[in-house]
Amino acid sequence: MHDDARQGGMTRRQLLRMIGMSAGSAAMYQAMTSLGFAAESDFHGVPQLGAAPKGASVLVLGAGIAGMVAALELRKAGYAVQVLEYNARAGGRNWSLRGGDTYTELGGETQRCGFAPGQYINPGPWRLPHHHRGILGYCRQFNIPLENFVQVNYNAYLHTTSAGDGKPQRYRTVRADYHGHVAELLAKATRSNQLDAAVSKEDQEKLLASLQWWGALDRDYRYTRSRDSSDRRGYDKDAGGGLSGDPVPSTPMGLGDVLGKTLWGRLPFGDLYEMQTTLMQPVGGMDRIGLAFARELDGLIRYRARVLDIHQDEHGVRVAFEDTAEPGSRHQASADWCVCTIPLSILGQIPINVGQAMADAIAAVPYAASVKIGLQFKRRFWEQDEAIYGGISYTDQPIDTISYPSHGYHDSGKAVLLGAYAFGAHAMQFTAMSPAQRIEAALEQGSRIHPQYRAEFENGVSVAWHRSPFTLGCFGLWTEAARAKHYRNLCAIDGRIALAGEHASQLPAWQEGAVTSALDAIERLHHRALAQGAAA
């Protein structure tokens, strides 16, 4: 379907623009996902390749998740495998920054992470949906312990600078008021017989009963200040014991306030398929997955290898690379076949002799702008002062997102939260700043939600993905038009070269896309190798 396909009286493009204007760039990205830019994982188990042709070899470019999945499964089948990786570590975007780590971005700025022991930030992927069976299967295989990742916390905040004095609202308050007012409107329409053509009388009675419960409406189907509505949105004074234990109900916002402040735009996030409970994370950081793969592939990965040229002919594939520890050096690796998982933003700048269809596909996919900022504080004030345990607060400021750690509850020491997760234009604003300026902006904007920021802050670190030398962006940003024209050409094997990675999947930005893409590519490559061996 074309990007401008009609959706209920407006085009998709118009709908996305409206969402982006009203609820922010992150909401727009989530809307893109819900409009078909991502799909359920089709993982049905690791393919059983059988035995490799005698003496067959494969060169894997990139030791991210896709590259390491390919290397692991090809080695199991009996291929001689070697992996070239640009970084001095495995994992690619599967990455955690901890105290003592250093990171140099394009432009030469080097940050040294000052986090306390046990604290970390995941600059790349940070959650694992329960239905991403491929990546979860490798977690199980490697005995990587997982814990819950809290996506929706009813006690976190929704914030917009245009809402009165800019005071943040609790998620549960906005949700309850939105549901309550919508339920009241629908109840009015039902009681005035405006739904006769669509709903039977019996079903209208059932609908009214369900709306009364769902929206916490009173006996006259009004959404008002009451014990019932306060049981959803919270009380001005919570119930307690003894003579002073009477609760004090709270007063709902008006419908115009709820709709006019665009706070509603963040309510459906937890309902989106990839964000639904249960979400998980590896205990101790997302890079536990990358490190586990690297241990399994010990001795096969050559680090600090910057690919300079990829050339194939009827005999095999040769790759020239530089050892970045020896600037100007030139080395060569060769194999019968190649699985290339280099991000397209980088691959498009490397000479590679593939057909025009694949070359055009490589050039057709830009990469999303994204920035994450990790902030360490002296104490977990969000828990101690505001009873926020995990989850996410959203704001219409450029930082967009504040995510609270889903682990270590009630720890008495220092703690790190995600102080910004910006996309699109806001991410480009942050990318143009120095790391120190990004931290300052995150503190300034976060203080409007948490006044404790300045007094409690200790240090921070940021990753602007367009300044990442190994990706030049966060993930492949397909449009429907580009996917219709180029996707199959990107995934097709060209001679002896197959591409894999999240960019070669229907799950862009997710590790599951990397896993399923790699498994699909190596299965097809194996069949081609067998066919060629039989012909020979």
CATH number at residue 530: 3.50.50.60
The whole-angstrom separation of Cα 297 and Cα 331 is 21
| Contact status, residue 462 vs residue 418, Cβ threshold 8 Å | no
Whether 109 and 19 share a structural domain:
no
Residue 2 pLDDT greater than 50, yes or no: no
Span 190-218, mean pLDDT? 86
Span 187-203, mean pLDDT? 83
Residue 81 pLDDT greater than 80, yes or no: yes
Buried (b) or exposed (e) across 494-505, using 16+ Cβ within 10 A? bbbbbbbbbbbb
Whether 383 and 459 share a structural domain:
yes
pLDDT in tens, 254-275: 888 888 777 788 888 888 888 8
Band of residue 71 on the pLDDT scale cut at 50, 70, 90:
very high
Provide the residue type at 207 as one letter.
L
Instruction: State the chain's mean pLDDT as an integer.
Output: 91
Orientation angle between helical segments 511-535 and 133-141, nearest 10 degrees: 80
Annotate 368-421 with DSSP letters as a single string: --EEEEEEEESS-HHHHTT---SEEEEESSTT-EEEE-SS-TT--S-EEEEEEE
Q: Is the pTM of this model over 0.75?
A: yes
**CATH assignment at residue 220:** 1.20.1440.240
The whole-angstrom separation of Cα 290 and Cα 297 is 11
Whether 444 and 521 share a structural domain:
no
Range with the poorest average pLDDT among 275-279, 340-344, 373-377, 514-518: 275-279
Q: Which residue has the tokens 């942050």?
A: 430
* Domain-located, residue 267: no
State the CB neighbour count (10 A cutoff) for residue 367. Answer: 21
* Domain-located, residue 45: no
Q: What was the pLDDT predicted at 9?
A: 44
179 is in which domain, residue-wise? 169-261
Whether 247 and 194 share a structural domain:
yes
Q: Where is the domain boundary, 467, 489, 520?
A: 467
Band of residue 197 on the pLDDT scale cut at 50, 70, 90:
confident
pLDDT > 70 fraction of the chain, expressed in percent and rounded = 92
Whether 375 and 452 share a structural domain:
yes
Q: Is 412 exposed, middle or buried (0-12, 13-18, 19+ CB in 10 A)?
A: exposed
Q: What was the pLDDT predicted at 516?
A: 96
Span 47-66, mean pLDDT? 95
Q: What was the pLDDT predicted at 198?
A: 78
Q: Which residue has the tokens 């509505």?
A: 229
Residue 40 pLDDT greater than 70, yes or no: no
The whole-angstrom separation of Cα 292 and Cα 298 is 10
Whether 380 and 399 share a structural domain:
yes
Orientation angle between helical segments 65-77 and 287-296, nearest 10 degrees: 30
Q: Which helix (H) or strand (E) holds 346?
A: helix 344-347
Span 323-339, mean pLDDT? 97
* Domain-located, residue 436: yes
Residue 43 pLDDT greater than 60, yes or no: yes
Q: Where is the domain boundary, 467, 495, 524?
A: 467
Whether 343 and 374 share a structural domain:
no
Q: How many domains does the chain have?
A: 4
Q: Give the contacts of 167 (CB within 8 A, at least 6 positions apart).
A: none
Whether 128 and 212 share a structural domain:
no
Q: What was the pLDDT predicted at 36?
A: 40
* Domain-located, residue 43: no
pLDDT > 90 fraction of the chain, expressed in percent and rounded = 77
**CATH assignment at residue 413:** 3.90.660.10
Residue 56 pLDDT greater than 50, yes or no: yes
Whether 355 and 484 share a structural domain:
yes
Q: Determine if residue 106 is left, alpha or beta; phi over 0 gives left, psi from -120 to 50 gives alpha, anything else beta.
A: beta
Whether 317 and 240 share a structural domain:
no
* Domain-located, residue 234: yes
* Domain-located, residue 323: yes
Buried (b) or exposed (e) across 168-204, using 16+ Cβ within 10 A? bbbbbbbbbbbbbbbbbebbeebeeeeeeeeeeeeeb
pLDDT in tens, 145-192: 999 999 999 999 999 988 667 899 999 999 999 999 999 998 998 888
Q: What was the pLDDT predicted at 22?
A: 47
pLDDT in tens, 353-377: 999 999 999 999 999 999 999 999 9
Whether 240 and 251 share a structural domain:
yes
Whether 116 and 189 share a structural domain:
no
* Domain-located, residue 52: no
* Domain-located, residue 503: yes
